[in-house]
Structure 1
Amino acid sequence: MDISVVVPLYNEVESLPELLAWIRRVANEHHFTYEVIMVDDGSTDGSWQLIEVLKETYPEIYAIKFRRNYGKSAALNVGFAAASGEVVITMDADLQDSPDEIPVLHNRIKEEKLDLISGYKQKRHDPLTKTLPTKLFNAATRKMSGIKNLHDFNCGLKAYRKDVIKNIEVYGEMHRYIPVLAKWAGFTRIDEQVVKHYPRKYGTTKFGFSRFVNGFLDLLSIFFVGKFSKRPMHFFGSMGVLSFFGGFIIIVWLILDKLISIAHGSAYRNVTDQPLFYIALVAIIVGSQLFLTGFISELVSRNASDKNNYQIEKVI
């Protein structure tokens, strides 16, 4: 199969008929063999009931329904697991991503032997409350990830070589940083494609203020996980050792200072009467705790169970 189109959706009942007709038209014009994997992330507006009806007209649909809303990352992870196409395209269901971009993305993946192409919406039709945080996160992600050639990490329209989506795990809300996950997994042939962004035609945006905070926390998380997930002792252990020995040296210095003062008959203060002693004591305790945290993290990382367990209600 040439292409798998993975479409995560949540309450997009109005846009689905138009989206499927658009994808079919593009695929037929370019003679692609394809499937459309739709993952209903707990919609409550009748999206699933409509998909069941559309399945009769569009046999290329493979649809999965969650029992409740888990988020876009969960929908993408399950969609990736089900995909069988040599090139996998992801797009949002709100018609702001254009299926007309599919042929270019497919051809670039195949001809340029790229691992991943991320869409770049140069001209966006979103409110400032959405575009400004996106620009800030994109700049921070470029800096922290070292992927300098991407301007829009969070664009829903992306293309992947099949090997990429079968070797990364998208969880939490890490869909914003899939290019970073791919790079950490060793897929470094990453590029971008300028794509057209359409104004929202139906429904309302799912963007809220919480995504601003979550995006920042996810960025820190993806950086830490990518750098230290296989060796957490390197992070916690090094900090713990520095803190422990810093406190230990201070205490030794305080004791030696007292002994020298006694030897010279000079006035001195008891070690425990000095604030510096308690600072050193805290540093030793914190250092020991950090070291133990690193040790426990090593054990957890070696025996971690699958993070992606989702309740699937129906599959058609």
Structure 2
Amino acid sequence: MNRDAPAWALAAATRLLPAGRRDWGTAMSAELAGIDLRPDRRRFAAGCVAAIVTRPGVLLRAGYLLAPIALVAYVVRWSATIGEPPRRWGVVALVAVLALVVELGVIGPLGPVGGGRAARLVRTIGYVLVGVLAVEAVLFVAGRTGPDLGGVPVFGVMFAGYLAAGQALTAQRSTATPRALLTGAAAGTAAAAAWAAVVLVAPPIPAGPLLAIVLIAAGMTIAGRLGGQVAALGAGTTAALLILNLVTAASVLAPDWLIPHLAPPALAPATQIAESRIELPDPYLWLLLLGWFVALAQWAASSPRRAR
């Protein structure tokens, strides 16, 4: 086959097709090889490319590919308001690493991601939970001053680990069944809901993560009995991320009676509450670390090599 511009364009478009439909693109390429006149080749290739890229599955795949790139471009533009160049490019690097992990779930070794409803739902939940925490981390790093950028690599490793584990769990080659995926997500959500219920019934929010860890362990146990090891690990990562999101949101939005007194009592009441809101999320960062280790175990448990 002549490797001219029409052939290259058709070959590139074929790569966007789902694996089960690649033979369609191969047949188009074979037919293109039998066309000699250049104008006819261009017209045929343009029609084939248009037919490929307008398919719903291809549009969705293209969206997966382009959305992370667009996000990085937006952060590069937005971060221009950060006065310190090292801090600005640290923020950009953090977002770029997470965007790269997402891309690897579409076209790289972490994918291709599964297209079933359960896989999409669980993957979307993971993206949202990690994404909210990543936005908070970016705003935190961007708002600080000075040369200390230690939080950038820590957040990058943590969030990238969660994303990679979630993509491996919901990949087409994952050993996780739809039942295991949904059981893990439901048990993790139930554990976080139980934590929120206890906090509302017996305020304030605990000053440490002990109650959260106990409920996460209970959720993992129940999920393991109902859906197996992968479900238990999925429940652990879901609950850890969800509770951490609840705590960070509560530190800003919750009424004063839900905020524990963590600041020195000598301060004025309003100042004490304000300082306590700032300090509240810090001990719960242990949940981020705990969930990260669970996520790595989840990654290994859902690997097809483990099944063999």
TM-score by length of 1: 0.23
**Which of 1 and 2 has greater Rg?**
1
Q: Normalization by structure 2: what TM-score?
A: 0.24
Structure with greater helix percent: 2
Higher relative contact order (CA 8 A, sep 6+): 1
